[in-house]
Amino acid sequence: MSGGVVKAEEGPLALFGTSADPPTRGHQILLEGLVQAYPEVATWASDNPLKQHGASLEQRSALLGQLVAAIGNPRLSHRQELSSPWAISTLQRAAAAWPGRELVFVVGSDLAPQIPCWKQAEAVLDRCVLAIAPRAGWPLQPGCLEQLEGLGGRVVILGLEVPASASSALRQNPDPSQIPASLLPLLLEHNLYGLGDPSLPLPPTRHSTSHSTSP
Protein backbone atom coordinates (compact mmCIF):
# COMPACT_ATOMS: atom_id res chain seq x y z
CA MET A 1 0.00 0.00 0.00
CA SER A 2 1.35 3.43 -0.90
CA GLY A 3 -0.03 6.68 0.45
CA GLY A 4 -3.01 4.89 1.95
CA VAL A 5 -4.31 3.82 -1.45
CA VAL A 6 -4.74 0.15 -2.25
CA LYS A 7 -4.20 -0.92 -5.84
CA ALA A 8 -7.51 -1.84 -7.46
CA GLU A 9 -8.11 -5.56 -7.90
CA GLU A 10 -10.83 -7.55 -9.54
CA GLY A 11 -13.90 -8.50 -7.60
CA PRO A 12 -16.05 -6.73 -5.05
CA LEU A 13 -14.91 -5.66 -1.61
CA ALA A 14 -17.25 -6.46 1.29
CA LEU A 15 -17.36 -3.84 4.05
CA PHE A 16 -18.68 -4.76 7.49
CA GLY A 17 -18.69 -2.22 10.29
CA THR A 18 -20.00 -3.14 13.71
CA SER A 19 -20.15 -1.64 17.17
CA ALA A 20 -18.43 -4.87 18.35
CA ASP A 21 -19.80 -4.23 21.83
CA PRO A 22 -18.69 -6.98 22.35
CA PRO A 23 -18.02 -9.13 19.27
CA THR A 24 -20.12 -12.30 19.49
CA ARG A 25 -20.25 -15.72 17.89
CA GLY A 26 -22.68 -14.12 15.44
CA HIS A 27 -20.00 -11.67 14.32
CA GLN A 28 -17.56 -14.53 13.87
CA ILE A 29 -20.00 -16.61 11.83
CA LEU A 30 -20.85 -13.63 9.62
CA LEU A 31 -17.20 -12.78 8.96
CA GLU A 32 -16.38 -16.42 8.17
CA GLY A 33 -19.35 -16.51 5.80
CA LEU A 34 -18.35 -13.28 4.07
CA VAL A 35 -14.88 -14.56 3.20
CA GLN A 36 -16.57 -17.47 1.44
CA ALA A 37 -18.74 -15.11 -0.60
CA TYR A 38 -16.31 -12.28 -1.47
CA PRO A 39 -12.67 -12.13 -2.54
CA GLU A 40 -11.87 -9.54 0.14
CA VAL A 41 -13.57 -8.41 3.35
CA ALA A 42 -12.74 -5.39 5.51
CA THR A 43 -14.16 -4.91 8.98
CA TRP A 44 -13.86 -2.29 11.72
CA ALA A 45 -15.41 -1.22 15.01
CA SER A 46 -17.49 1.93 15.05
CA ASP A 47 -19.58 4.12 17.30
CA ASN A 48 -23.31 3.87 16.68
CA PRO A 49 -24.88 7.31 17.22
CA LEU A 50 -28.10 5.61 18.36
CA LYS A 51 -26.45 3.49 21.08
CA GLN A 52 -24.61 3.80 24.35
CA HIS A 53 -21.55 1.56 24.36
CA GLY A 54 -20.24 -0.71 27.10
CA ALA A 55 -16.56 -0.22 26.24
CA SER A 56 -14.44 2.42 24.53
CA LEU A 57 -13.98 2.41 20.76
CA GLU A 58 -10.31 1.59 21.29
CA GLN A 59 -11.19 -1.47 23.38
CA ARG A 60 -13.86 -2.64 20.93
CA SER A 61 -11.46 -2.23 18.02
CA ALA A 62 -8.87 -4.33 19.87
CA LEU A 63 -11.45 -7.07 20.46
CA LEU A 64 -12.50 -7.10 16.81
CA GLY A 65 -8.87 -7.12 15.71
CA GLN A 66 -8.27 -10.14 17.95
CA LEU A 67 -11.25 -11.91 16.36
CA VAL A 68 -9.93 -11.18 12.85
CA ALA A 69 -6.52 -12.54 13.86
CA ALA A 70 -8.13 -15.69 15.28
CA ILE A 71 -10.11 -16.31 12.09
CA GLY A 72 -6.79 -16.05 10.27
CA ASN A 73 -8.06 -15.74 6.72
CA PRO A 74 -5.92 -13.64 4.33
CA ARG A 75 -9.08 -12.36 2.65
CA LEU A 76 -10.18 -10.70 5.90
CA SER A 77 -8.58 -7.54 7.26
CA HIS A 78 -9.21 -5.25 10.21
CA ARG A 79 -9.32 -1.72 8.77
CA GLN A 80 -10.06 0.59 11.67
CA GLU A 81 -9.32 3.66 9.57
CA LEU A 82 -12.70 3.15 7.87
CA SER A 83 -14.52 3.71 11.17
CA SER A 84 -17.12 6.46 11.34
CA PRO A 85 -20.55 6.83 12.94
CA TRP A 86 -21.81 7.61 9.43
CA ALA A 87 -21.88 5.06 6.58
CA ILE A 88 -21.40 7.79 3.98
CA SER A 89 -18.04 8.76 5.50
CA THR A 90 -16.91 5.14 5.59
CA LEU A 91 -17.84 4.63 1.94
CA GLN A 92 -15.96 7.78 0.93
CA ARG A 93 -12.86 6.52 2.72
CA ALA A 94 -13.18 3.06 1.18
CA ALA A 95 -13.59 4.53 -2.31
CA ALA A 96 -10.40 6.55 -1.82
CA ALA A 97 -8.47 3.53 -0.53
CA TRP A 98 -9.77 1.09 -3.16
CA PRO A 99 -10.33 3.25 -6.27
CA GLY A 100 -12.51 1.63 -8.90
CA ARG A 101 -13.48 -1.28 -6.64
CA GLU A 102 -17.12 -2.32 -6.30
CA LEU A 103 -18.08 -1.76 -2.66
CA VAL A 104 -20.53 -4.07 -0.90
CA PHE A 105 -21.85 -2.64 2.37
CA VAL A 106 -23.00 -5.41 4.72
CA VAL A 107 -25.71 -4.98 7.35
CA GLY A 108 -27.79 -7.35 9.43
CA SER A 109 -31.50 -7.73 8.72
CA ASP A 110 -32.22 -5.98 12.02
CA LEU A 111 -30.64 -2.76 10.69
CA ALA A 112 -32.12 -2.80 7.19
CA PRO A 113 -35.33 -0.89 8.13
CA GLN A 114 -33.23 1.94 9.63
CA ILE A 115 -31.26 2.68 6.46
CA PRO A 116 -33.77 5.14 4.91
CA CYS A 117 -33.26 7.31 8.02
CA TRP A 118 -29.45 7.27 7.81
CA LYS A 119 -27.49 10.41 7.05
CA GLN A 120 -27.50 10.93 3.24
CA ALA A 121 -29.22 7.58 2.78
CA GLU A 122 -29.64 7.95 -0.99
CA ALA A 123 -25.95 8.80 -1.40
CA VAL A 124 -25.03 5.76 0.71
CA LEU A 125 -27.12 3.47 -1.50
CA ASP A 126 -25.72 5.07 -4.65
CA ARG A 127 -22.14 4.30 -3.62
CA CYS A 128 -22.47 0.60 -2.86
CA VAL A 129 -24.28 -2.65 -3.23
CA LEU A 130 -26.23 -3.26 -0.03
CA ALA A 131 -25.86 -6.83 1.24
CA ILE A 132 -28.31 -7.88 3.95
CA ALA A 133 -27.33 -10.76 6.24
CA PRO A 134 -30.42 -12.49 7.67
CA ARG A 135 -30.30 -12.64 11.48
CA ALA A 136 -32.25 -15.27 13.36
CA GLY A 137 -35.16 -13.58 15.09
CA TRP A 138 -35.07 -10.51 12.83
CA PRO A 139 -36.90 -11.31 9.59
CA LEU A 140 -37.00 -8.60 6.96
CA GLN A 141 -40.04 -6.41 7.44
CA PRO A 142 -42.67 -6.35 4.69
CA GLY A 143 -41.91 -3.61 2.18
CA CYS A 144 -38.35 -3.06 3.41
CA LEU A 145 -36.67 -4.17 0.18
CA GLU A 146 -39.09 -2.18 -1.93
CA GLN A 147 -38.37 0.94 0.10
CA LEU A 148 -34.60 0.52 -0.24
CA GLU A 149 -34.85 -0.14 -3.96
CA GLY A 150 -37.12 2.88 -4.29
CA LEU A 151 -34.26 4.99 -2.91
CA GLY A 152 -32.01 3.62 -5.63
CA GLY A 153 -30.53 0.75 -3.65
CA ARG A 154 -29.03 -2.33 -5.27
CA VAL A 155 -29.87 -4.94 -2.66
CA VAL A 156 -28.76 -8.55 -2.29
CA ILE A 157 -29.72 -11.02 0.44
CA LEU A 158 -26.77 -13.08 1.62
CA GLY A 159 -27.22 -16.82 1.59
CA LEU A 160 -26.29 -17.33 5.22
CA GLU A 161 -28.01 -16.86 8.57
CA VAL A 162 -26.42 -15.20 11.55
CA PRO A 163 -27.48 -16.66 14.91
CA ALA A 164 -29.59 -14.60 17.28
CA SER A 165 -26.72 -13.80 19.66
CA ALA A 166 -26.81 -10.06 20.28
CA SER A 167 -24.23 -7.79 21.88
CA SER A 168 -26.96 -5.86 23.71
CA ALA A 169 -28.23 -9.05 25.35
CA LEU A 170 -24.70 -10.03 26.39
CA ARG A 171 -24.17 -6.65 28.04
CA GLN A 172 -27.26 -7.24 30.17
CA ASN A 173 -26.72 -10.96 30.83
CA PRO A 174 -23.08 -12.04 30.35
CA ASP A 175 -22.89 -15.45 28.68
CA PRO A 176 -19.39 -16.70 27.85
CA SER A 177 -20.81 -19.33 25.51
CA GLN A 178 -21.85 -16.56 23.10
CA ILE A 179 -18.35 -15.03 23.00
CA PRO A 180 -15.68 -16.28 20.58
CA ALA A 181 -13.16 -18.26 22.63
CA SER A 182 -10.29 -16.14 21.28
CA LEU A 183 -11.72 -13.04 22.99
CA LEU A 184 -12.29 -14.44 26.47
CA PRO A 185 -8.73 -13.80 27.75
CA LEU A 186 -8.94 -10.10 26.84
CA LEU A 187 -12.42 -9.72 28.30
CA LEU A 188 -11.39 -11.43 31.53
CA GLU A 189 -8.14 -9.49 31.79
CA HIS A 190 -9.92 -6.14 31.55
CA ASN A 191 -13.11 -7.27 33.35
CA LEU A 192 -15.25 -6.10 30.45
CA TYR A 193 -18.99 -6.78 30.12
CA GLY A 194 -19.15 -8.51 33.50
CA LEU A 195 -17.21 -11.49 32.16
CA GLY A 196 -14.65 -11.19 34.95
CA ASP A 197 -17.21 -12.66 37.36
CA PRO A 198 -15.60 -15.92 38.64
CA SER A 199 -19.05 -17.46 39.12
CA LEU A 200 -19.68 -17.53 35.36
CA PRO A 201 -18.97 -20.91 33.73
CA LEU A 202 -16.44 -20.65 30.93
CA PRO A 203 -16.91 -22.68 27.75
CA PRO A 204 -14.21 -25.09 26.57
CA THR A 205 -11.58 -23.48 24.40
CA ARG A 206 -12.24 -23.97 20.69
CA HIS A 207 -9.87 -23.09 17.90
CA SER A 208 -11.35 -21.06 15.07
CA THR A 209 -10.97 -22.61 11.65
CA SER A 210 -9.98 -20.42 8.74
CA HIS A 211 -11.51 -20.68 5.33
CA SER A 212 -9.60 -20.07 2.14
CA THR A 213 -11.69 -21.86 -0.44
CA SER A 214 -12.53 -19.73 -3.44
CA PRO A 215 -16.22 -18.77 -3.71
97: which residues sit within 8 A by CB, 6+ positions away? 4, 5, 6, 79, 81, 82
Could you give the CA distance from residue 193 to residue 54 in angstroms, rounded to a whole number? 7
Could you give the CA distance from residue 215 to residue 213 in angstroms, rounded to a whole number? 6
Mean pLDDT (10-residue bins), the chain, 215 residues: 49 95 92 97 90 87 96 98 97 97 96 95 98 91 94 95 70 74 85 63 42 32
Amino acid at 100: G
DSSP 193-215: GGTT-TTSPPPPP-PPPP-----
CB 193 within 8 A of CB 16: no
Q: For residue 22, say if its preceding peptide bond is cis, omega within 30 degrees of 0.
A: yes
pLDDT score recorded for residue 166: 62
Picking from 212, 208, 211, the residue whose alpha carbon sits closest to that of residue 66 is 208
| Dihedral Cα 172, 174, 180, 181, nearest 10 deg | 160
Measured in whole angstroms, the distance separating CA 76 from the mean position of its chain's CA atoms is 11
pLDDT score recorded for residue 114: 94
pLDDT score recorded for residue 93: 98
pLDDT in tens, 82-102: 999 999 999 999 999 999 999
pLDDT in tens, 135-152: 888 898 889 999 999 999
Picking from 101, 34, 87, 67, the residue whose alpha carbon sits closest to that of residue 181 is 67
- From residue 97, give the alpha-carbon distance in Å to each of 91, 102, 182, 196: 10, 12, 29, 39
pLDDT score recorded for residue 168: 61
